[in-house]
Amino acid sequence: MPRRRLVLLVLAAALLLIPAAPARADDAAVKRAWDAHDAQFAKLGGDYRAALKRWRSSGFKRAKGALGANRKARALLARNTRGVTAASPSSADGERARRLALASNAAFSNQLLYQARGIRLTTAGRRSAGNREFARGVTAARRSARAAKKAKTLLRRAGVG
């Protein structure tokens, strides 16, 4: 019996010493990583819009729900960005699409930050300063949409759906 355990122990140690196969580069992996949280983003987007509507209807007083939804969206976006960063493309178009997807995520993150600032400032009674932050958020949203459109075009050119 002890000999059997020794053989199993040696086999287990040998398996641990075998190097793991490197991750295969794949353009589809970039798209999968980028689209991984789409359903969660859709649900969170609805929650965020509802929270903003409640904030507006309260006379810009109750910001807690809107800021909480904003924080959840930024956390989900950070998770999505980590996934896209970890994906390794197999072609030049795939690499460019990955960089553009990361740029789109960064601009979207900035948009959310500007919106949170705008909510805080408006709630504090500084509507003009809040409106400036919301305008910056719109600019960041446009930048995000442009980068996303280019990334999708490059992924299609690379043969990924």
Contact 2, 133 (CB under 8 A): no
Distance, in Å, from the CA atom of 74 to the CA atom of 136, rounded to the nearest integer, reads 17
Residue type, 109: S
- pLDDT tens track for 14-24: 555 555 444 44
Q: What is the pLDDT of residue 21?
A: 41
The percent of residues above 90 in pLDDT, for the chain, comes to 73
Altogether, the residues listed in the chain come to a count of 161
Q: What is the mean pLDDT of the chain?
A: 88
Average pLDDT over residues 133-150: 97
**Start-to-end C-alpha separation, the chain:** 56
Distance CA 56, CA 54 (A): 5
Mean pLDDT of 61-74: 95
pLDDT mean over 128-155? 96
**pLDDT (average), residues 4-20:** 57
Domain chopping of the chain, boundaries = 25-157
* CA angle (48 as vertex; 43, 50 as ends), nearest 5: 100
